[in-house]
Amino acid sequence: MDGDGRYGQRVLWAVVDTAIGPLLLAATREGLVNVVFHATDEVRDKALERLASRLGREPVEEPGSPLLAEAIRQFDAYFAGERHSFELPLDWSLISGFNREVLRELATTVPFGTVVGYGDLAGRVGQPGAAQAVGTAMGANPLPVVVPCHRVVESGGGIGGFGGGLETKRQLLALEGVLPEPLF
């Protein structure tokens, strides 16, 4: 158990409805550990199995948990256009090495409403020429939206790839004012 005797090493989760569809949010006592796009029953079940395997404990659905309540509140505010950054404790245990270094750099230096190129981000972590490795790190991001991999684009002006799908990336960039809202 942890200091307050309630949560210990538990992994708690909830699915929240957002403007980009249902998101699975999972947290440990260290912080938010996973955000999963398109959290239909099938996607949710696979994500929970993967979390159980990686973290060594079975996730428990508990949307009212204080561990998740603030994350849910901040996601609601973000999608309502009322919040431009997340101020949540993060559990980085699902990512390590270069990928973690790149994602931490992204989270701390690329604010709402801006974008960065894959190669530029590689240079910021002292690995110029590692644009493809940065792309791999973005694809491995366990905390999308909070760690804003949607803000990483191709240097030539292309939108680049996205684990949540290109339409989701476009929606997030439009929400942040980087791209125009679709006409229809």
Active-site residue identified among 27, 107, 115, 149: 149
Residue 125: alpha-carbon gap to chain centroid: 20
Q: Measured on CA atoms in the order 97, 122, 171, 30, is the torsion positive or negative?
A: positive
Asked if 149 is an active-site residue, the reply is yes
Q: Both tokens of residue 103?
A: 């994602």
CB 11 within 8 A of CB 33: yes
Q: Report the distance separating Cα 13 and Cα 143, nearest Å.
A: 14
Q: Both tokens of residue 100?
A: 């973690």
Task: Write out the E strands in the chain.
Answer: 12-16, 23-28, 31-36, 60-61, 116-117, 152-153
Q: Mention every residue, 6+ apart, whose C-beta is less than 8 A from residue 127.
A: 98, 133
Q: Report the distance separating Cα 100 and Cα 141, nearest Å.
A: 8
Question: Catalytic positions, please?
Answer: 149
